[in-house]
A and B are shown apart, each in its own frame.
Chain A
Amino acid sequence: MKKSRSPVPRARLNERRSNRYYVLCVLPLYIFTVLFVAGPLLYVLVLSFLKRADVWGVLNQFTLQNYADIAQPVYLKTFLSSLKLALVTTLLTVLIGYPFGYFMARLSAKWKKIMTLLLMLPFWVSSLIRLYGWIIIFRANGILDKILMGLGITDAPLKLLYSYPAVVVGMIYALVPFMIFSVYSSAEKLDWSLVEAARDLGAGPFTAFRTISLKLTMPGLLSGVILTFIPSMGLFFIADILGGNTVVLVGNVIQEQLMKAHNWPFAAALSVVLMILTSLMIYLYRKITKVKDLEGLV
């Protein structure tokens, strides 16, 4: 910028005035964010260091007991099994969603639109109802059992509902569209002539994919991983509905501590740990990809 030394720098005066104007634009966001995002999150942090009152509420006494409680084997196990489920879900979602997003980027413009529409439409049906559809399919003597038994593949009901696999299916089902869209948005920008060039230079299809396509779609893949991993740490209702009591996740424990046990400080401490875990993931993601914004949906 050129600095003007004239007595009244009108441009700068204008600029300052318009800056005030823009600051005014940010104000609602600023206030809302402080009041209803930063505020509550800080409150949770504070609460996690306070003592629980005997009957109801919180005492204003500092304690680290809540965090010490999390170190108990029961809760550590819950964190571990949540992590495990999140990892299994994310891995399977990658395996299922990546090829889809990749192939989708190779469709004609018309089919890309149709496919996007097809993938978006289910979002307008309540995700709970879609889970309910899976319940009907999975339940003992439900649709799946009838088909399998009719075909003679199995001869007794599989009892899939309220099992670990059912929860995994529910999780993948809820999260796979995010993976697909992330990969797709990356793959769509891919310069396919690079792949062709690699093939022309003698690379096999696998080598060409590994060295060119996979590398260039990595940002999409990784943002897909984040978009599936983080929610899967907190989707307690899927474990609740499809898993019965067989699968207990951090989300379930937090909900229980808060709504049933009314142990607010402990629920807060659990949330803080969960948040640290997920922030760590985002941090690692940014370190690896050097990307600031997630690709695809958000």
Chain B
Amino acid sequence: MKRRIKPSRIYMGLLVLLIYLPILVVIVYSFNESRINSIWAGFTFQWYAELFKDKSILEALRNTLILATLSSLAAAVIGTLGAIGISKARLYSKGIVEYVSTLPIMIPEIILGIALLLLFSLLRLPFGMVTLLIAHTSFCIPYIYILVKARLVGMDRSLPEAARDLGASQLRVLLDITFPLVSPAIVSGMLLAFAMSIDDVIISIFVTGVNTNTLPIKIYTQLKTGVTPKINALCTLMFVAATLISLLSFHIGKKPDKIKKIKEDET
């Protein structure tokens, strides 16, 4: 049995290969001297050098990172407090609040995108970072909310009770018992939210302003007019960075696998 490779392994290997194929293509072409992607003209670092001179790409990158950081942080605060509150509070509208607040990831993104666009223009909010931040926060909250809530459901209820019996105040219980216990869920939720935010195209397109670009919006416009190899170079760098971070967290022993975490939280 051991000597031959199982067909299931071959299948998985092939599929992983296919998943990485377009990424590999982009990486290879980031070193291509030619501007046109169907011709290989020789090896070069030229695009990497030009990338760091391109102000508009760097600004888009900066916007994307700021946006992802702020929205996942805001969502972490709102979502965690909300999950803790809803799981403990006696409120009549609990079910409906829970349902509506997780709607952003239950409906096609485009619906939330146009809903927010219409609302923002009704309120006459200037389109730009602020509107992007609100929109991103709204679809980041569900990830954190769902994970933290699942964690709370699986949590040992006797711990906070014991702390209360020993005279700890409500706030102390929250800070010393509940937060440390749910923090892994908050972290995985934030990572997931962060990843979703830096990659969001649909909602961003609707709520961004004329002068505010995020990386996905920039790439989207380029895809329609013509992609510069600088984008290939940037994506290669981002992929390398993500790989390094993942490997690092893998080795440190912290679970980088967010999705597995969710699954564990659900049980």
Contacts and interface: CB of A to CB of B under 8 A. Distances in A.
Interface of A: 17-19, 21-30, 32-33, 36-41, 43-44, 47, 96, 99-100, 103-104, 106, 112-113, 115-137, 139, 141-143, 173, 176-177, 181, 184-185, 188-189, 230-231, 233-237, 241, 251, 254-255, 258, 264, 267-268, 271, 274-275, 278-279, 282, 293, 295-298
Interface in B102-148: 103-112, 114-119, 122, 134-135, 137-138, 141-143, 145-146
A33 B16 CA distance: 38
A268 to B, nearest CB: 7
Contacts of B105: 298
Interface residues of B, number: 93
B38 A293 contact: no
A29 B110 contact: no
A125 B137 CA distance: 21
B201 interface: yes
A279 to B, nearest CB: 8
B142 A298 contact: yes
Contacts of A23: 85, 89, 91
Interface string B192-215: 100100110110011000000001
Given A112-B260, A251-B108, A255-B205, 15 more contacts: A21-B170, A28-B81, A30-B82, A38-B100, A100-B15, A125-B23, A126-B235, A127-B201, A129-B235, A230-B107, A264-B118, A293-B266, A296-B263, A298-B142, A298-B146
Contacts of A115: 12, 16
Given A23-B89, A25-B85, A143-B25, A236 B118 contact: no
B235 A25 contact: no
Q: Which of A126, A234, A282 gathers the greatest number of chain B CB atoms within 10 Å? A: A126
Interface string B132-175: 00110110011101100010000000000000000000100000
Contacts of A40: 112, 115-116, 118-119
A135 B227 CA distance: 11
A100 B78 CA distance: 36
B88 interface: yes
Given A122-B20, A237-B201, A117 B256 contact: yes
Interface in B210-267: 215-216, 219-220, 223-224, 227, 231-232, 235, 238-239, 242-243, 246, 250, 256-260, 262-263, 266-267
12 contacts: A18-B88, A19-B89, A22-B89, A29-B78, A32-B137, A37-B112, A100-B12, A100-B15, A119-B16, A121-B246, A185-B262, A258-B117
A131 B97 contact: no
B19 interface: yes
A37 B108 contact: no
B38 A125 contact: no
A28 B26 CA distance: 42
Nearest to B39: A141
